[in-house]
Amino acid sequence: MPKRLLQKTMKARVFCNNFKSGGGHLYGLESINASNGWAISIVGISIVFSGLVSLSLVISQLYKVLALYEDPSKITAFFKSKKSKKVDEKEGEKIITIVLTRSQKETVKQFALLARTLDDHFSLPRLLHLAQISGIKDPYPSLNILLKMRIVESDENGFFMWKNEVSDRAVR
Amino acid sequence: MDALFLDFYHNTGFYLWDYRYIIMIIVGMVFIYLGIAKDYEPLLLVPIGFGMLIGNIPIFKGLGLGIYENNSVLHYLYFGVTQGIYPPLIFLGIGAMTDFSTLLARPVLMLLGAAAQMGVFLTFLGALALGFEGNEAAAIGIIGGADGPTAIFLTAKLAPHLIGPIAVAAYSYMALVPVIQPPIMKLLTTRKERLIRMEEPRDVTKREKIIFPIVAFVLCCFLAPAALPLLGMLCFGNLLKEAVVTERLAVTARTSLIDIATILLGVTVGASTQGDVFLTTASVKIFVLGALSFGVATACGLLFAKIMNLFLKTKINPLIGAAGVSAVPDSARVVHMVGQREDPTNFLLMHAMAPNVSGVIGSAIAAGVLWSLMAH
């Protein structure tokens, strides 16, 4: 607690006690002023706010610190240059490994055959349409898996490409 | 023979009765009725109500029966109140049953718990203006924290002679949260605001939950050391819960221990409201200030939530600001109910728990601050 505030509070109390022992009684603003009420209230609410604000700041960063603790490689990544960091992130995204079941592997192979019939850059609805008319089981979730595994990847111009290397690795 | 009967009659309640005892017995019955029939905080109102009956049976002074007589059993049980023993035990139990996940997921909501504590300090000023001394005003102000154990703890330290009225006011208003808060909520928010849907909170890891009570305790108690008995037990209880390996202790803290402390606290606080010492103008003023402090605290939380919305990208439902008063979990439940009246598919309970539990921490800090400022 600030020492000056404490001294003021003690002085205020002595004043109040003297006043009351003399038979008087303070009310309203007089009483608040005499007891140093304004200062106590402002200091009090400031301390409550600063306590909870600092706690919320610490908590808001806590999960990030824990994430670094759980995956120390992120610490080294943090110190890398921004450019390389971006590349790393992209590579990190590429290495999404989903363990496929035997039937899913079959589906990927069937999609690969369909992709061969298309241009290098094809539209996703076209691939989906072909999958549907070819009778591939669960075309939507299967295509979702292909996208997640980056077997089908956007060319960032509204079309998609089939990544043979990734596809071969997935069905191996 | 006649003299014996006459002597006995002079020691009975029928001879010693006073209208003040009768009033308090009726109040006690109302408490019991509200607890049982209306389900308003029955775990508190029933013990307090029955305590009022115990404390207001007219008795012959000197037999060691009354709570204010040094050698009475009730006096020894009341020792836990006057020395501030029961409130930390209750906080231990509260800690062992509180889940801080929503708070950890959105720490910014902690500010709502802080904002609601403005009610404490505004009531403090109001009590000073009504002629109470500084330490008494501080004890009355903490009613705005809407936390019974905290109110009792601080009053025991600063103004023990006011424990009865302050405890009864605090618990009565806590029980009346479903009555007091909704009109203020509706008054200060628009329908559009009440319809705001909150963002789903992120998942919180076990490790975060374990670290939180330790960090919160160290940080808050370094800032306000006088909050140590309450916050220490609250955080310790929560650590027992989250650590899993101490599940047995956590179960004891949140069941038997908190129940025993609540029973003893409720009955003795109720018994301390003896008509001749309780029914004073000071008590009436305390009740008026208590009601105001609840209203002001609720309003401060709501308005602060609205101010936060001016700066936040993802808006929060301002109703949850009202849960910043620490009546756990009643005010969160009231927020949920008011929100559902506007949109039955909007579930605010989980979100309201964040300011609600931060209100508990906030009121404990506020109590610590007031104690250290006034005790010197």
Contacts with A55 from chain B: Cβ below 8 Å? 107, 110, 215-216, 219-220, 361
Most B CBs within 10 A among A15, A43, A55, hence the mutation to make, goes to A55
The confidence band for B217, taking pLDDT boundaries of 50, 70 and 90, is very high
- The 3-state DSSP composition of chain B as helix, strand, coil percent (nearest 5) reads 80, 0, 20
> B365–A51: do the CB atoms touch at under 8 Å?
yes
pLDDT at A21: 46
Residue B77 lies in a domain: no
The confidence band for B218, taking pLDDT boundaries of 50, 70 and 90, is very high
pLDDT at B235: 94
Q: Which residue ranges in chain A fall short of pLDDT 70?
A: 1-25, 78, 80-98
pLDDT at A91: 52
pLDDT at B376: 64
Contacts with B220 from chain A: Cβ below 8 Å? 51, 55
pLDDT (tens digit per residue) in B182-209: 999 999 999 988 888 888 888 888 889 9
Distance from CA of B304 to the nearest CA of A (A): 12
Report CA A12 to chain centroid distance, whole Å.
50
Residue B370 lies in a domain: yes
- Does the structure show a pLDDT above 80 at B248? yes
- The two three-digit tokens of residue A30, written as one number: 């007089």
- Does the structure show a pLDDT above 70 at B86? yes
Three-state SS at B91: helix
- Candidates A1, A48, A66; nearest CB to B208: A66
Total domains in the fold of chain B: 1
Cα separation of B298 and B304, whole Å?
10
Residue B91 φ/ψ, nearest 5 degrees:
-65, -35
A49 touches chain B (CB under 8 A): yes
Residue B267 lies in a domain: no
> A27–B207: do the CB atoms touch at under 8 Å?
no
- Does the structure show a pLDDT above 90 at B256? yes
Residue B122 lies in a domain: yes
Domain of residue B351 covers: 100-261+277-375
The confidence band for B36, taking pLDDT boundaries of 50, 70 and 90, is very high
Contacts with B123 from chain A: Cβ below 8 Å? none
Residue B329 lies in a domain: yes
B214 touches chain A (CB under 8 A): no
Residue B133 lies in a domain: yes
Helix (H) / strand (E) element for A152: namely: strand A152-154
Residue keyed to tokens 């062992």: B96
Nearest CA in chain B to A5: B373
Q: What is the mean pLDDT of chain B?
A: 89
Three-state SS at B76: helix
Written as one letter, the residue type at B259 is D
Distances, alpha carbon A7 to alpha carbons A10, A43, A115, B113, in Å: 5, 14, 83, 30
Residue B71 φ/ψ, nearest 5 degrees:
-100, 15
Cα separation of B230 and B156, whole Å?
13
Question: Which own/partner pairs from A109-118 qualify as long-range (CB within 8 Å, at least 24 positions apart)?
Answer: A109/A171, A110/A134, A110/A136, A111/A136, A111/A142, A111/A143, A111/A146, A111/A151, A111/A152, A112/A162, A112/A164, A112/A167, A112/A171, A115/A152, A115/A162, A116/A162, A118/A162
Residue B56 lies in a domain: no
| Of A20 and B142, more confident | B142
> Interior CA angle at B166 toward A42 and B84, to 5°?
85
pLDDT at A95: 52
Three-state SS at B328: coil
A39 touches chain B (CB under 8 A): no
pLDDT (tens digit per residue) in B327-357: 778 888 899 999 988 888 888 888 898 899 9
Residue B152 lies in a domain: yes
Mean pLDDT confidence for B22-29: 92
Written as one letter, the residue type at B98 is T
